[in-house]
Amino acid sequence: MVEMDPRDYEIAELGPKLREVKDLDELEEMLELEEGGPNREDVKTLLVSRIEKLEAEDEEEAPGEVDPSELTVAELGNVVRKIEEVDELEVLLEEEKKGQDRKTAKRLIESQLESVQGSEEGEATEQLPPEEKYPELDHPTADKQYVKALSGGVYRDMWVYCETQRGELIDVSKEMLGKARELMDGYNDSYDAEERVVAVVIGDSIEEVAEETIAYGADVAIYTEDPRLERFYHKPYTEAFCEMARAGSGSEWDRSEADTDWKTIDGEVYDEPRYVLFPATNNGRDLSAQVQAELDSGLASDCSGLYIEETVISNPAKTGEAGDKKEFERVLHMKRPDFSGFEYSTILCLDAPGREFHPQGASVIPGSFDLPDPDPEREGEVVEFETTLDEEWFRVTIEDHDRLEGGVDLTGREVIVALGRGIGDDPTKGMELGLDLVDAFGDADLGISRGIVTSSYQFEGHVERYAKEERQIGETGQVVAPDLYIAAGISGAIQHKVGMDGSETIVSINTDSEADIRDFSDYFIEGDLFEVLPKLTEAIERGEPVPMAADGRGDE
């Protein structure tokens, strides 16, 4: 029986604990347990990744002695990538075909074989459509009639979609404008260019809002307004944005008749934006996916870090030649939390041979960047973009709506007490203790981690409302920056960190002295929250210091 059952953990908790498991048999058993239910894809990916990592560290068999029938696909993959002889790979492929004849195993061997042959011959890798390269697989997009990407396109500027609510810019729109200004200032210095920040505003009676974007860093504000656009509809908003993006390109998808002087740099009208940013809000996530799909480019969603620099890539899919390396310039590096919740991944949107991927796009988590101070004296160009909106795009209309009263807004509080899965032994008692500590402060409120929202904890009626998603802090919840943030029973997944690491002082309470949250806490208390919270509440009520707090970055 394994010591750690993956079914008892959320993926954010499981990630760091797997680092301590070094027994392959135990990991295989854990994978079998997960496959038996709940069979979560992200958890299985995490387990397989750990298994492959340990297998790679083990001494591998000599390639000539490999019997593919005795290896799992993961084990075979680790062996195959070390083989650089065509003859050995061909023999291995024949043995696999005669034996288990696994499709995934054959693709691994064939892929390595193509790479080795390309390196030896010095020839470009033939770019075959997926449906021709792997005819045995289903290809649901094979009937797509055309790809709307450009060839030899001209790309300039960084565009920022500025979302509004009730006729005003929301904070994340201002944050993105400030970050875009910073990025493009650095870009222009590095590449001796004069590219700009372009704010895109869509709605009804929003000319003044468009003008406001100049004060927050835009060089150009392009807007389209119509009474029907008062509320967000993804079809007309997508069509309007993409018409702006393609205006003046002369491509077969450019249907705009509007003036494009505003899109001219050095006497040339560029085809599409170089970069685009969207807010990672409900509407922003919807629009970003629709726009980037229509423009046939890529999207990195829910990002919390952006920078522009060169990168060197050796993947034949991007270089066009196996064994070759290629430097890509002016690449937007988009950082976002990965599946484990404890690491960041950097996403790149790169051109491929015969296919251009522009604009490079990202959606940005609210609160990821500083809110800039407006400069009312700043000058820029404000342009109304005239477009025709098809009635067919408004087949579904909102006849009436009510604004919900109340709700929970944690963003303005001086103190936030946040609870995590550490309350699991007695969820109701844990919630009560958190509320007691909140009451001991003045301007304070209670927040929770996603672990509580997605858990099956049973709360008694008087505290049940505090376990709702409206109090969640993190990547998919609220982003807060109080003077004091107290995290009790929270492990410190990146998804939670991005929602609170702007706090002035962070105090964390956890029984695990190696919990990730310790790395970004100002003070760390090693202990059971059921014992620590009452003492902390008493000390606050008496106005006394708390002697058990230790510097989170140092020793106890």
List, for residues 262-282, the tens digit of each pLDDT value. 999 888 899 999 999 999 988
Per-residue confidence (pLDDT) for residue 456, from 0 to 100: 83
Give the rounded percent of residues in the chain with a pLDDT score beyond 70: 87
At 89-137, the pLDDT tens digits run 888 888 888 888 887 788 778 878 877 776 555 444 455 666 666 676 6
CATH number listed for the domain at residues 415-552: 3.40.50.1220
In sequence order, the 6+-apart residues with CB closer than 8 A to the CB of 36 are none
List, for residues 211-267, the tens digit of each pLDDT value. Answer: 999 999 999 999 999 999 988 998 999 999 999 999 988 887 888 888 889 999 888
Question: What is the per-residue pLDDT for 130?
Answer: 60
Supply the DSSP symbol for 374.
P
Residue type, 310: E
CB within 8 A of 246, min separation 6: which ones? 253, 254, 255, 256, 271, 272, 295
- 3.10.310.40, 3.40.50.620, 3.30.565.10, 3.90.79.10: CATH of 155-393: 3.40.50.620
In sequence order, the 6+-apart residues with CB closer than 8 A to the CB of 400 are: none
Cα–Cα dist 244/255, whole Å: 10
Residue 34 or residue 505, greater confidence: 505
Question: Does the pLDDT at position 49 exceed 90?
Answer: no
Residue 286 — φ and ψ, nearest 5°? -60, -55
Helix axis angle, 41-57 to 24-35, nearest 10°? 160
Whether the per-residue pLDDT at 490 is higher than 70: the answer is yes
pLDDT of 85: 82
The answer to whether the predicted template modeling score (pTM) of the entire model surpasses 0.85 is no
pLDDT score for 149: 61
By mean pLDDT, which of 32-41, 132-141, 390-399, 511-520 is the weakest?
A: 132-141
Let me know: does 46 contact 11? Beta carbons within 8 Å: yes
Sign of the CA dihedral running 182, 183, 188, 189: positive
Q: Which residues belong to CATH 3.40.50.1220 in the chain?
A: 415-552
User: Which pLDDT does position 318 carry in this prediction?
Assistant: 82
Retrieve residue 530's tokens: 């059921």
Task: Work out the pLDDT band at 352, boundaries 50, 70, 90.
Answer: confident
Q: What is the pLDDT of residue 229?
A: 92
Residues carrying CATH 3.40.50.620, the chain: 155-393
